[in-house]
């Protein structure tokens, strides 16, 4: 729970349905459970903005909401709405705190309202995602493209370029002039020059990820993060000639080699909480800061 933008309490519900996923087999088991109740007490007196952040790693069914004083919708603060799409790194699937995901950190520092379409394992240039973004009112948009395409070994270079163009075309159908930032992957050494698919590795006793492709397969069009960054840079530069509100950000400016040396990826794929915060802080500075591609945009007329 946040009160006036400040975290004041956390709570965990007992009970509830439990979905267990076996990472080695992909098997899923669902165990039904009772409804749980959370209580936030001893809040500051007087009128205040209250936010309840639900867990980003679980499906949450809100059965009832009760208060001991009248509540009304929060007034419009006039902050721009930032619509972002990315992978599990944007989703925050490895984090306990939904307010600690890098997009949440960046939004708080940038003074924007976040709509986070971070989909764990599923930032795959799906047309339905582009249509959802097209139809969602927003003042600022960013798309982070690459890591899932590599670790899913989803497509080859020949298909990647048209897929990126088609995705951006669809977003632009609904937001022709909104500042749009294309972000390439952060550093991930296992996939920098080695194609996917990625696979879980339990040889160390903890979940790690590894790349199972062969670097020589790049000649046949297999994607690596290096290949994707080069293509995204080329595509955005070409499109920006006719789209002055389109920009590109190399993800290694958010998390690069020096960061990996200091804050390595615990499972070889996902940042830890400290690295996530660093990514959010840097994005806020580079994107929302003075001269940034998402800076200085007034909120939509609602």
43, 221 Cβ separation under 8 angstroms: no
Whole-number pLDDT of residue 246:
98
Pairing of strands 6-7, 2-3: antiparallel
Whole-number pLDDT of residue 26:
81
166, 130 Cβ separation under 8 angstroms: yes
Tokens, residue 18: 């439990």
16, 54 Cβ separation under 8 angstroms: no
Q: What is the pLDDT of residues 216-252, one digit of tens each?
A: 999 999 999 999 999 999 999 999 999 999 999 999 9
Closest CA to 277 of 248, 255, 249, 260: 255
Whole-number pLDDT of residue 140:
98
Whole-number pLDDT of residue 93:
87
**Close Cβ partners of 117 (under 8 Å, ≥ 6 residues apart):** 83, 84, 85, 86, 129, 132, 133
Whole-number pLDDT of residue 301:
38
139, 297 Cβ separation under 8 angstroms: yes
Whole-number pLDDT of residue 231:
98
Whole-number pLDDT of residue 297:
62
Dihedral (CA of 239, 241, 243, 245) sign: positive
64, 92 Cβ separation under 8 angstroms: no
The alpha-carbon radius of gyration of the chain (Å, integer) is 20
pTM of the model: 0.91
pLDDT under 50: residue ranges of the chain: 300-302
């Amino acid at each position: 729970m946040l009160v006036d933008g400040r975290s004041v309490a956390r709570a965990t519900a007992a009970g509830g349905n439990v979905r267990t996923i076996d990472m080695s087999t992909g098997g899923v088991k669902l165990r039904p459970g009772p409804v749980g109740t959370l209580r936030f007490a001893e809040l500051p007196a007087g009128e205040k903005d209250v936010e309840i952040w639900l867990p980003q790693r679980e499906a949450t069914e809100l059965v009832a909401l009760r208060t001991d004083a009248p509540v009304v919708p929060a007034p419009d603060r006039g902050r721009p709405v930032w619509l972002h799409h990315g992978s599990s790194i944007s989703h925050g699937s490895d984090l306990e705190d939904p307010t600690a995901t890098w997009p949440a950190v960046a939004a708080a520092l940038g003074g924007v309202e976040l709509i986070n379409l971070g989909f764990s394992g599923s930032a795959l240039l799906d047309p339905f995602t582009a249509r959802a973004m097209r139809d969602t009112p927003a003042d600022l948009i960013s798309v982070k493209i690459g890591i899932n395409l590599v670790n899913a070994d989803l497509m080859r270079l020949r298909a990647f370029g048209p897929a990126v163009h088609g995705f951006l075309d669809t977003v632009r159908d609904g937001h022709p002039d909104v500042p749009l930032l294309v972000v390439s992957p952060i550093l991930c050494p296992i996939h920098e020059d080695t194609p996917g698919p990625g696979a879980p590795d339990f040889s160390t006793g903890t979940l790690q990820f590894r790349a199972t492709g062969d670097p020589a397969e790049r000649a046949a069009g297999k994607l690596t993060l290096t290949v994707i960054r080069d293509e995204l840079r080329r595509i955005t530069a070409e499109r920006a000639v006719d789209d002055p509100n389109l920009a590109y950000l190399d993800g290694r400016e958010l998390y690069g080699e020096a960061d990996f040396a200091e804050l390595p990826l615990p499972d070889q794929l996902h940042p830890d909480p400290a690295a996530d915060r660093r990514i959010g802080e840097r994005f806020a500075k580079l994107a929302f800061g003075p001269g940034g591609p998402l800076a200085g945009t007034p909120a939509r007329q609602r």
